[in-house]
Chains A and B, each alone.
Chain A
Amino acid sequence: MSALAQPAGAPAAWPDTYGDEAKPRMGFFTDTSICIGCKACEVACKEWNLIPEDGLVWTGESYDNTSNLNANTWRHVAFIEQRKPLKLTDDAAELESAAQPEPLRWLMESDVCKHCTHAGCLDVCPTGALFRTEFGTVVVQEDVCNGCGYCVPACPFGVLDKRDLPRSPDDAPLALPLLGKKEDGRVWKCTLCYDRLKGGHEPACAKACPTDSIQFGELDELRERAEKRLRKLQAERWNGARLYGHDPDDGVGGFGAFFLLLDEPEVYGLPPDPVVPTAHLPRLWKSTALAATAMFVGIAAAFVGGRT
């Protein structure tokens, strides 16, 4: 089991906080090389988690009409049409014949919350609505979140978002107009189906995935499986095959939900080198303390001399 070390100064880390109730860290390994873009994960997620419909639009961006992860999309299938070879070749003659157009490669990737080891959203949440479960996942408590929105720009992956829906006529009128101008106003994201995990089931998206592109399990075991899969693809000379988020030494301490990609992360709309914002916090608090101290000194200096 991987230890979830926290940034300096943080309270005792998972899994110690759970004592005997701690479970092995669970996660996803999303192998995009076998994703067929069926979006069963998106649908299963919406169904199980009762996520509201949030507009039906045609984007013209390949088969992707949900565009990104947000409050109402917790699994998002990205579609990328590329003129790149699916496999690499050493054959010089084949490289020479670049005159003919390269074949079309269609990448598909089911994106999801990364359930980071060092989760920026969890670190900055002022209410404690975001917490780490006994499975090592990161979940928003909907009865605690007050919609301050700090986690939204804190996430290095742009996963979290505030849900703003039109006010329903059934809503009881509130005494003060200041209180209750929005219907929901809270922040939502993937829970890694915390309720299903509690009941011993796998998350809805993994259950629905027909190709096992989305694999659910204990993180350590998934990492081994992913390494094996990568070695196989590399032996077969797949173009651009790489793991993303599997490394516990990366800027967020490794993802709880990591990926096998076939191109640079940014091609899929993912950051190539994500770092949790709180990694810089000691330095940030230091510059803040210096600036605050300077304010005492500066304003005191304004009183020296020249007083009439």
Chain B
Amino acid sequence: MTDRKPIKEGKALENGKPAGTTSWDGSITELGTTMESYYGRPVVKEPVWQPEIPFYFWTGGIAGASSVLHGVARVARNDTLAKRCLYVGTAFDLASPLLLVSDLGRPERFLHMLRMFKVTSPMSVGSWILLLSGGASTTAAVLELLGVLRPLKWAGEVVSFLSGPPLATYTGALVANTSIPVWSEARDELPWVFGLSAAASAGAAAAIVTPTDSAGPARRTAVYGVLAELGLVEYMERKLGFVGEVYKKGEAGRYGRISKLCTAAGAALLARAGARSQAAAVAGGALVLAGELALRWSVFKAGFQSARDPRYTVLPQKERIRQRGGGAR
């Protein structure tokens, strides 16, 4: 192999730079490895997912974590909180499949999702979890409203409770199980980020709709969820290093900043005044919910930005080869 300079005089590389490719200079990077690219074009494809998907990450998370809040509230004999969490969770459980079906290229074929169960596909696993969770929550909520068939309602509540955390976290596994560098390299963190975000938003939603004297656990879930999430997201971005710089750039960066601002402000409001004033609980809860939605959008957009720039795909791979001492695996 010869020692080569990156081509800089190549006209095509400069003029042929496709719209949307940012910060390509074809030269030395932070990893100390050089690379050339094919006209700055991406190596991996950007996702084809529509805005329904980040909204679903948010609604699915609220649904899953609300089911857990509901279950624990039942055990703790806080029925006021439990009932409201059940209704909130069911509402978001019902909204979720609508968003997913709407995103499909062939929505009329949505039942094809249930042709098989595949553990290698988090989307397949998630479809079954959502079916289970949504079915159980809806059954429990309807029976709660009607006040009949208590044993069946309890069964529904238990299933909903148990399927809640998988529903809230599998979406993190779903995006991490791709070839998008900023997602796949965060495979240890994303399920936790999504889980914490889900817990915080479910706590916030419950704090909004529950009288303050019964909403203590919901407020604490929101506040501590936000705190842990802020720390973890910071850790994830640092650990990702070069690949994680998309979280500072463009739309991912903008949504990320909005998220941090809203969740921090909302959590502070909930912690300071949420116990005394319902208005403060509503405002704080709404801020947290907005911030968590922005977080899902930040992660979503980061994936697109990560795919768009070939440096994020190629350089870590070249670094891997270099550390192996060159050549094949």
Q: Which residues of A contact B303 (CB under 8 A)?
A: 153
Q: Which residues of A contact B313 (CB under 8 A)?
A: 271
Known: A81-B12, A160-B45. A294 touches B187 (CB 8 A): no
Choose the segment among B116-124, B139-147, B152-160, B254-262 that binds chain A (4+ C-beta atoms closer than 8 Å): B116-124
Give the nearest-CB partner of B73 in chain A.
A303
Q: Which residues of B contact A284 (CB under 8 A)?
A: 122, 173, 176-177, 187, 191
Which one of A174, A277, A287 contacts B179 once the chains associate, using CB atoms below 8 Å?
Answer: A277
Once the chains bind, are B44 and A271 in contact (CB under 8 Å)?
yes
Known: A266-B314, A293-B165. A60 touches B15 (CB 8 A): yes
Q: Which residues of B contact A64 (CB under 8 A)?
A: 39
Chain A binding surface SS class? loop
How many residues on the A side are at the interface (Cβ–Cβ under 8 A)? Answer: 97
Once the chains bind, are B172 and A272 in contact (CB under 8 Å)?
no
Q: Which residues of B contact A306 (CB under 8 A)?
A: 216, 220
User: What's the minimum C-beta distance from B274 to chain A, rounded to whole angstroms?
Assistant: 12
How far is it, in angstroms, between the C-alpha of A268 and the C-alpha of B35 when the chains are bound? 11
Is B21 interfacial (CB-CB < 8 Å)?
no
Give the nearest-CB partner of A69 in chain B.
B45
Closest 8 A-B residue pairs measured CB to CB? A147-B105, A185-B105, A269-B38, A292-B165, A146-B109, A126-B124, A273-B317, A288-B191
Which one of A78, A123, A273 contacts B320 once the chains associate, using CB atoms below 8 Å?
Answer: A273
In chain A between 270 and 294, which residues have their CB closer than 8 angstroms to a CB of chain B?
270-274, 277-278, 280-281, 283-285, 287-288, 290-294
How many residues on the B side are at the interface (Cβ–Cβ under 8 A)? Answer: 101
CB within 8 Å of B: which residues of A?
7, 9-10, 59-62, 64, 67-68, 70, 78, 80-84, 88, 120, 123-129, 144-150, 152-164, 174, 178-182, 184-187, 239-240, 247, 249-251, 263-264, 266-274, 277-278, 280-281, 283-285, 287-288, 290-296, 298-300, 302-303, 306-308
Known: A83-B7, A152-B48, A295-B168. A186 touches B36 (CB 8 A): no
Once the chains bind, are B184 and A277 in contact (CB under 8 Å)?
yes
Is B248 interfacial (CB-CB < 8 Å)?
no
Give the nearest-CB partner of A144 in chain B.
B112
CB within 8 Å of A: which residues of B?
1-2, 4, 7, 9-10, 12, 15-16, 18, 35-39, 41-49, 65, 68-69, 72-73, 76, 78, 98, 101-110, 112-113, 115-116, 118-124, 127, 164-166, 168-170, 172-174, 176-180, 183-184, 187-189, 191-192, 194-195, 198-199, 203, 213, 216-218, 220-221, 224-225, 228, 275, 303, 307, 310, 313-314, 317-318, 320-321, 328-329
Once the chains bind, are A88 and B2 in contact (CB under 8 Å)?
yes
Known: A62-B12, A146-B112. A288 touches B2 (CB 8 A): no
Once the chains bind, are A247 and B329 in contact (CB under 8 Å)?
yes
